Structure 1
Amino acid sequence: MSAGDPPPPIPGARLLFSLDAATAYLNHGSFGAVPISVQRAQQRLRDETERNPMAFFAPPGLTDRIVHTRRHVAQFLGADPEGSALVPNTTSGVSLVLQSVRLQPGDEVLLTDHGYGANALATRRQCRRDGATARTVALPVDAGDAEVVSRIRSALRPGRTKLLIVDQLTSPTAKVLPVREVVAAAREHDIPVLVDAAHVPGMLPVEVDRIGADFWVGNLHKWAYAPRGTALLVVAQPWRRRMEPLVVSWEQEAGFPLCVEFHGTVDYTSWLSAPTGLFMLRTLGVDTVRSHNAALAAYGQRVVGAALGLSPTDLPDPGAAEASMRVLPLPPGVATTYPEAHALRQHIAEKLATEVAVNAWGGRGWLRLSAQVYNRAEEYDRFAQHLPELLSGLR
């Protein structure tokens, strides 16, 4: 089958990153890749810190800089800066919300089976502590928006479901879920919703406040070129007074959001460098980057799928034109458990000098490919050429 034409490269984009040229890095979705300009901006901040730590950390200088950064990031995402807080990552934001909701015995938290594994672990831990339960609703990988909303609506238990956690773009299946419609369905029963948007900032166009969720949290260190450890948690007005930090420090009396943001003596340079990442994204052109990455990810999915003998109907559609991650099913019996998926990812990295994501989901192994401005079509072509032989050696 024809894989179609890949998008033309963005001139000079590959030189903006310090990735090892000997490795095809087709897994931007896992940990991102920090541009050189952002690395340097962060290093300048670290140098500033070490020249005079007291001057860097002393109030109000540091807190003013945190507030300025938060406002910049929130504006980019269409969120209210006063209802937003910088946090280290999406998983820490999820744990913060779980703690602040204050579950009671008999309550339940509803998840989908497309959710991020660490968030499911955090949910189960909080439920054990509070005497609540965690329940999962299954969504077919090929379900359309209407079916997704219908299945979630049917799974809600008014009076018992105290929180619904739903991904805007799922990690194991790279599926964009209709979160605005899901939030509206939950609102019919006054059930609060937490949207895990780990992959959204920078990849998908978003106006967070228009989604209407009670809680929304997304990473900027994946697709928005920020250093790792940078995310934004957005909280609706009725919940802000109830938000409590995971660790109490000196800004506790300031209330949300600063009490959540200030952690004492930690490295804040990743947050303060985030605007430099957004500057690079805007300089390249937000729409240009999104269209390039989405087209290249689709090309990679098609060419690798063709090499594995998959038909176009076997390749899941992410459900959004801007999606820069794509998945495809591995042969039956391959990587059907988490340890097997982890081992296969390592095997691919060692034998093919290619970084990809491999997940076990729904009793089957799935290969996830990402695309970023530093990637080239020939990287997916080479991977497609050698992957079938590697997989055949596993049987």
Structure 2
Amino acid sequence: MTAVVPPDPIPGARLLFSLDPAVSHLNHGSFGAVPIGVQRVQQRLRDEMEANPLRFLSQGLTERVAHARRHLATFLGADPDGTALVGNTTTGVAVVLASLGLRPGDEVVSTDHGYGAVAMSIARQCRRTGADSRVLPVPLAATDTEVVETVRAGLRPGRTRLLVVDHLTSATARLFPVAAIVEAAHRQGVPVLVDGAHVPGMLPVAVADVGADFWVGNLHKWGYAPRGTAVLVVAERWRERIEPLVVSWEQESGFPARVEWQATLDYTPWLAAPAGLFTLRSLGVDRVRAHNAALAAYGQRVVGEALGVPPTALPDHRGPAVAMRVVPLPTGVAGTFDAARALRLRIAERLATEVAVTAWNGRGWLRLCGQVYNHAEEYQRLAVSLPALLDQR
């Protein structure tokens, strides 16, 4: 059995964040954590806006947003002209779904690893248009080849108007072979939307090389940007068809400005987002990725052992830089959405530890993240305390 050793801490990294030191924050993947320096950049922008709102919002703002967009798109290996800033990944998905012109007889296909809010967005748009939603089950232990074949076999050319697939899944922390999936779907004439919510900052990516028709991802998780910062990347042939959810004054400017401009929206998260990437680069992008992935793997192993899960039964996430790991909970624990939420709140209240608990395919899963502000001792404390808490149910 191969021992999993925690990485050496990155000196000073914990001091970059204003997180409550009395709490173990092991769930960076849900809402991220904004470094203090980035908070200050955003506050200066807010101060500028409040000093003269009319000037801030009407003189040069679109150019400033475009500059931030170019910076973020370049980091992600995406075409800046085909990239729009949006509030979050779910918003980007909703924009795409609303722009497709779905009709009765059409279908949107996704997998059972999809994010809950995205699944609800698909269901709502299908109800509105008379289209159908179909979910493909993909076993967690499936190989990359099996994943691609499962998805390929589930498409129906001529009827499947969109395939929605995760780059890195939220519920199961599984890295999908998205480039191969896109290639297989395109051979059947099916466009693809890739949900890359957790990718920016965590994983090395060149969005253009993925080849998806649409790719969405959050910068406010692993990219250290203020919350409310995400990108929607659209292939050139689709850009003129993309419509915002709300029409505003940049409507005639085309994509991406027509999607970005929402009048009195707070644009300071987008303008401050490059400071998040500056923080990441200052720490060392590769160094942070290696640290976070190793720490998540360590946490998965020690918590899994405490719950009696053999290392061979811990899911393989198929990516050396994946900084989220899941541990299966005992049978009957947190098998529903409500039960998972209740358990997460109990862990937060009684163990002073923030984790994610998900219910996937009728089973509860504990999701742990690794971030530069975490230390091995936090996972060790959780491993000691969690079994007794679960026994109290």
Answer whether TM exceeds 0.5 for this pair: yes
Q: How does 1:72-87 map to 2 (within 5 A)?
A: 72-87=71-86
Q: Specify the alignment match of 1:25 in structure 2.
A: 25
* Cα deviation, residue 205, structure 1: 0.3
* Cα deviation, residue 245, structure 1: 0.4
Structure 2 distance, partners of 1:5, 1:113, is 33
Structure 1 distance, partners of 2:264, 2:392, is 50
Q: Tell me, yes or no, if the aligned pair for 1:3 and 1:302 is still in contact at 8 Å.
A: no
1:222-278 CA distance string (max 9 Å, x none): 000000000010000110000000000100010100000000011000000000000
* Cα deviation, residue 362, structure 1: 0.9
**Paired residue secondary structure (1:165):** strand
Q: Specify the alignment match of 1:158 in structure 2.
A: 157
* Cα deviation, residue 313, structure 1: 1.2
Q: Specify the alignment match of 2:278 in structure 1.
A: 279
Q: Tell me, yes or no, if the aligned pair for 1:29 and 1:199 is still in contact at 8 Å.
A: yes
AA at the equivalent of 2:334: A
**Paired residue secondary structure (2:315):** coil
Q: Specify the alignment match of 1:248 in structure 2.
A: 247
Q: Tell me, yes or no, if the aligned pair for 1:46 and 1:269 is still in contact at 8 Å.
A: yes
Q: Specify the alignment match of 1:201 in structure 2.
A: 200
Q: Tell me, yes or no, if the aligned pair for 2:70 and 2:80 is still in contact at 8 Å.
A: yes
Q: Tell me, yes or no, if the aligned pair for 1:105 and 1:132 is still in contact at 8 Å.
A: yes
TM-score computed with the length of structure 2 as normaliser: 0.99
**Paired residue secondary structure (2:237):** helix
Structure 2 distance, partners of 1:95, 1:232, is 13
Structure 2 distance, partners of 1:368, 1:314, is 15
Q: How does 1:282-293 map to 2 (within 5 A)?
A: 282-293=281-292
Q: How does 1:219-234 map to 2 (within 5 A)?
A: 219-234=218-233
Structure 1 distance, partners of 2:279, 2:123, is 39
Q: Tell me, yes or no, if the aligned pair for 1:24 and 1:379 is still in contact at 8 Å.
A: yes
Q: Tell me, yes or no, if the aligned pair for 1:38 and 1:273 is still in contact at 8 Å.
A: yes
Structure 1 distance, partners of 2:4, 2:221, is 27
Q: Specify the alignment match of 1:16 in structure 2.
A: 16
Structure 1 distance, partners of 2:299, 2:4, is 10
Q: Specify the alignment match of 1:353 in structure 2.
A: 352
1:324-366 CA distance string (max 9 Å, x none): 0000100000000000000000000000000000000011000
Q: Specify the alignment match of 2:54 in structure 1.
A: 54
* Cα deviation, residue 2, structure 1: 7.8
AA at the equivalent of 1:33: A
* Cα deviation, residue 378, structure 1: 0.1
Which runs of at least 4 in structure 1 moved beyond 6 Å after TM superposition? none
2:258 pairs with 1:259: yes
Structure 1 distance, partners of 2:205, 2:169, is 16
2:45 pairs with 1:45: yes
TM-score computed with the length of structure 1 as normaliser: 0.99
**Paired residue secondary structure (1:288):** helix
Q: Specify the alignment match of 2:371 in structure 1.
A: 372
Q: Tell me, yes or no, if the aligned pair for 1:22 and 1:353 is still in contact at 8 Å.
A: yes
**Paired residue secondary structure (1:124):** helix
Structure 1 distance, partners of 2:64, 2:189, is 36
Q: Tell me, yes or no, if the aligned pair for 2:4 and 2:297 is still in contact at 8 Å.
A: no
Tell me the C-alpha RMSD between the 2 structures.
0.8
Q: Tell me, yes or no, if the aligned pair for 1:29 and 1:222 is still in contact at 8 Å.
A: yes
**Paired residue secondary structure (2:226):** coil
* Cα deviation, residue 145, structure 1: 0.3
Structure 2 distance, partners of 1:247, 1:327, is 37
Q: Specify the alignment match of 1:305 in structure 2.
A: 304
1:155-186 CA distance string (max 9 Å, x none): 00011000000000000000000000000000
**Paired residue secondary structure (1:5):** coil
1:288-323 CA distance string (max 9 Å, x none): 000000000000000000101111111001110000
Q: Tell me, yes or no, if the aligned pair for 1:108 and 1:161 is still in contact at 8 Å.
A: yes
Structure 1 distance, partners of 2:221, 2:5, is 26
Structure 1 distance, partners of 2:75, 2:212, is 18
Structure 1 distance, partners of 2:341, 2:11, is 34
**Paired residue secondary structure (1:105):** coil
AA at the equivalent of 1:343: A
Q: Specify the alignment match of 1:213 in structure 2.
A: 212
AA at the equivalent of 2:121: A
**Paired residue secondary structure (2:188):** coil
AA at the equivalent of 2:132: T
**Paired residue secondary structure (2:312):** helix
AA at the equivalent of 1:246: L
1:354-394 CA distance string (max 9 Å, x none): 00000000110000000100000000000000000000111
Structure 1 distance, partners of 2:2, 2:375, is 18
**Gap runs ≥5 in structure 2:** none
**Paired residue secondary structure (1:391):** helix
AA at the equivalent of 1:348: I
Structure 1 distance, partners of 2:256, 2:179, is 24
Structure 2 distance, partners of 1:341, 1:208, is 33
Structure 2 distance, partners of 1:364, 1:316, is 14
1:111-163 CA distance string (max 9 Å, x none): 10000000000000000111100000000011110000000001000110000
